[in-house]
Amino acid sequence: MRIRRSKYNNRKTSVNGYLFDSAKEAKRYRELALMEKAKEIHNLKLQPEWDFKINGDKMFTYVADFSYETTVGRFCFFHVEDVKGFKTPVYRLKKKIIEACHGIKIVEI
């Protein structure tokens, strides 16, 4: 029996009961979890989704790795992160569409 290698040579990694697609993504989760515990960020979400629809028909769903909020004074800022080792042309297109349609900025780690 052959063990299948990942398309991008990443290794699935488990942290706190969550299974991440790569060790890099798991490492970023650990950092964000510590930041949330220290109250530097709040409302940390894993795998948040945004739909792209045309005339009510869903074309695709974009799934980011993380979203969270920070507060500076009276202002609250929303952050979306995607941990990437390799950016495919499809990913780049989806990112641009979602940023434009939903008014968010996706930061790549």
Whether the pTM exceeds 0.95: the reply is no
Which three-class secondary structure string do you get for 54-102? ECCEEEEEEECCEEEEEEECCEEEEEEEECCCCCCHHHHHHHHHHHHHH
Asked whether residue 33 is domain-assigned, the answer is no
Asked whether residue 46 is domain-assigned, the answer is yes
What is the reported pLDDT for 78? 96
Asked whether residue 73 is domain-assigned, the answer is yes
In the chain (109 residues long), the average pLDDT of successive 10-residue segments reads: 57 81 91 96 96 94 96 95 91 95 94
What is the reported pLDDT for 18? 81
Asked whether residue 8 is domain-assigned, the answer is no
* Domains: count for the chain: 1
Q: CA 72 to CA 65: how far, in whole Å?
A: 23
Query: What pairing do the DSSP bridges indicate for beta strands 75-82 and 66-72?
Result: antiparallel
Taking a C-beta distance cutoff of 8 angstroms, is the pair 46, 65 a contact?
A: yes
**Structural domain of 97:** 41-108
Asked whether residue 75 is domain-assigned, the answer is yes
Asked whether residue 34 is domain-assigned, the answer is no
Asked whether residue 65 is domain-assigned, the answer is yes
